[in-house]
């Protein structure tokens, strides 16, 4: 039973298209994140939601729009895809009040823009 699950795992699309990635966690955590991992494996936070409220919004083009319908779900919609958006996008979650703040990651969604 996967704790943090993302769909789709692979996404190949043309420049200019719009696509979405979905994430669900069954850990009962309060906070969810989107991280981007580029071709050099560098991981950078994009967004974080705590109980459906946006708490971290890094310098990300406004073509990227996260949405959290409830605290167990965090989706990422990307408009007008560009070549530079090709990356692996990881969803993660963590528990408020936990003394570790440990993040639990999903399997990643590999996006390829042609």
Partner 1 sequence: ELKVEQNPLFLSMQEGKNYTIYCNYSTTSDRLYWYRQDPGKSLESLFVLLSNGAVKQEGRLMASLDTKARLSTLHITAAVHDLSATYFCAAVYSGGSNYKLTFGKGTLLTVNP
Binding site for partner 1 (CB under 8 A): 31, 33, 40-45, 48, 50, 55-56, 90, 94, 99-108
d(CA 7, CA 42): 21
Give the nearer residue to partner 1 in terms of CB position, either 18 or 38: 38
Q: Which residues pair with 64 in a beta bridge?
A: 78
Residue 71 beta carbon to partner 1: minimum distance, rounded to whole angstroms? 14
How distant is the alpha carbon of residue 32 from its chain centre?
Answer: 8
The secondary element (H helix, E strand) that includes residue 56 is: strand 53-57
Residue 61 beta carbon to partner 1: minimum distance, rounded to whole angstroms? 19
If we measure between CA atoms, which residue out of 94, 87, 96 comes closest to residue 10?
87
Give the nearer residue to partner 1 in terms of CB position, either 66 or 106: 106
User: With contact defined as beta carbons under 8 Å apart, do 72 and 24 qualify?
Assistant: yes
Give the nearer residue to partner 1 in terms of CB position, either 56 or 114: 56
Residue 14 beta carbon to partner 1: minimum distance, rounded to whole angstroms? 24
């Amino acid at each position: 039973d996967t704790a943090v699950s993302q769909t789709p795992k692979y996404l190949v699309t043309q420049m200019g298209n719009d696509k979405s990635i979905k994430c669900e966690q069954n850990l009962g955590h309060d906070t969810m994140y989107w991280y981007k991992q580029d071709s050099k494996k560098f991981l950078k936070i994009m967004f974080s939601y705590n109980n459906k409220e946006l708490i971290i919004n890094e310098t990300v083009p406004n073509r990227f729009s996260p949405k959290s319908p409830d605290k167990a779900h965090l989706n990422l919609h990307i408009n007008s895809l560009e070549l530079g958006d090709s990356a692996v996008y990881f969803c993660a979650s963590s528990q408020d009040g936990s003394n570790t703040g440990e993040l639990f990651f999903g399997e990643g969604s590999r996006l390829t823009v042609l």
